[in-house]
Amino acid sequence: MQISGAQMVCEALIAEGVKTVFGYPGGAIMNVYDAIYKQDGFEHILNRHEQASVHAADGYARSTGKVGVAMVTSGPGFTNAVTGLATAYMDSIPMVVISGQVPLSLIGTDGFQEIDAVGISRPCTKHNYLVKKLEDLPRIMKEAFYIAKSGRPGPVLVDIPKDITAEMGEFSYPTEVSIPTYKPNYKGNNRQIKKAIEAIKSAKKPLLYIGGGVVLSNASMLVREFAEKAQIPAVETLMARGVMGAKNPLLLGMLGMHGNYSSNMAMSETDLVISLGARFDDRVTGKLSEFAKYADVIHVDIDPANIGKLVDVDYPIVGDIQKVVEKLLEGIEDIDTDRYQAWRDILNRYDKLHPQSYVDSDEVLKPQWVIERIGELIGEDAIITSDVGQHQMWAAQHYPFDRPRQWINSGGLGTMGFGFPAAIGAKRGNPDKTVINITGDGSILMNVQELVTASEYKIPVINIILNNHFLGMVRQWQTFFYDKRYSETDLSYQPNFKALAEACGGIGYDVTTKEEFDAALKDAIAKDKVCFMNVAVNRFENVLPMVPSGGALYNMLLEHKDQ
Residues serving a catalytic function are 50, 112-113, 162, 473
Nearest to 388 by CA among 491, 471, 271, 299: 471
Contact 93, 212 (CB under 8 A): no
Separation CA 258–CA 281 (nearest Å): 13
| Single-letter amino acid, residue 14 | I
Separation CA 308–CA 305 (nearest Å): 8
Separation CA 51–CA 62 (nearest Å): 17
Nearest to 30 by CA among 1, 59, 70, 73: 73
Residue 384 C-beta-side C-alpha neighbours within 13 Å: 29
Residue-wise burial string across 500-516, b where 16 or more C-beta atoms lie within 10 A, e elsewhere:
bbbebebbbbbbeebeb
Contact 266, 250 (CB under 8 A): no
Separation CA 161–CA 134 (nearest Å): 10
Nearest to 490 by CA among 539, 420, 438, 417: 539
Beta bridge partners of 435: 383
Contact 314, 298 (CB under 8 A): yes
- Main-chain phi, psi angles of 337, to 5 degrees: -70, -20
* Count of residues in the chain: 563
